[in-house]
Amino acid sequence: MNPWWYWVAVAPQFALVGGLALYHEHLLATGREVVLEVRPFDPMDVLSGRYLALPLAIEVLDRGILVGAGDPRPGDSVWVELAAGSPFWTPVAVHEQSPPASPDRVVVRGELSWGAEAGRLYVRYPIDRFYIPETGDDPTTGPLATRPKLSLVVRVASNGAMALADLRVDGVPYARWRR
């Protein structure tokens, strides 16, 4: 095979993967830090590797904070506006359209998963797993009553995109907690 054809075939694939990695790293470097509460969690799935499934508290929202007169359906994109709180950020509004950008506003983009039922909205976000290093400790082991509280640190871009930055175990970054 001619080397020229090889690079014509492979270069776009490298460019795509490299571009995705650069976008993710840019988001981690420039996005606004937000700490989200993790609801009670499931231990890792043996077939999928060492990870924690992270159901966020902001996945189940009160329909009363929906802004707009429309009726969103499963699969629709929504933008959840968050307000700083101690210790976690909390949802204050759900928009059906991307709200105007503002330096004071933090909005994360999600997808309505089950629609509106009994006054609730169920939203899925693109971050839902924290992968544990092979040699790392798993904070989900042990009795449920003694498991530590988990929170997720994400970086949020102005367009609502999110990137997982860290997992905190009882308020301590995962890397320091496992020492």
Q: What is the pLDDT of residues 115-153, one digit of tens each?
A: 556 778 899 998 878 887 777 777 777 666 777 888 889
Does the pLDDT value for residue 20 go beyond 80? yes
pLDDT of residue 28: 84
Range of the domain at 72: 31-177
102 domain-assigned: yes
Strands 150-156 and 60-62: unpaired
**Cα separation, 21 vs 61, whole angstroms:** 31
What is the structure's pLDDT at 116? 55
Looking up tokens 């609502």 gives 160
Over range 35-41, report the average pLDDT.
Answer: 79
Residue 19: inside a domain, yes or no?
Answer: no
Q: What is the pLDDT of residue 43?
A: 56
| Domain assignment of residue 20, yes or no | no
User: How many CB atoms sit inside 10 A of residue 152's CB?
Assistant: 24
Per-residue pLDDT, averaged over 58-86, amounts to 86
- 1 lies in some domain: no
Asked, for residue 2, whether it belongs to a domain, the answer is: no
In a domain, 40, yes or no: yes
Is residue 42 over pLDDT 60? Answer: no
- 24-42: average pLDDT: 81
Interacting residues of 173 by C-beta distance below 8 A, sequence separation 6+: 153, 166, 167
Given a contact cutoff of 8 angstroms between Cβ atoms, the answer to whether 171 and 87 are in contact is yes
What is the structure's pLDDT at 51? Answer: 76
pLDDT > 70 in the chain, percent: 88
Distance CA 168, CA 149 (A): 8
pLDDT value at residue 45: 58
Compute the average pLDDT of residues 41-59.
Answer: 71
Task: Supply the pLDDT for residue 109.
Answer: 93
* Structure-derived torsion over alpha carbons of residues 48, 51, 52, 58, reported in degrees to the nearest 10: -80
Coil vs helix vs strand at 162: strand
The model's pTM: 0.78
Instruction: Measure the CA–CA gap between 115 and 39, rounded to whole angstroms.
Output: 20
Assigned domain for 26 exists: no
Q: State how many domains the chain has.
A: 1
Q: Are 45 and 129 in contact (CB under 8 A)?
A: no
Residues paired with 116 in a beta bridge = 121
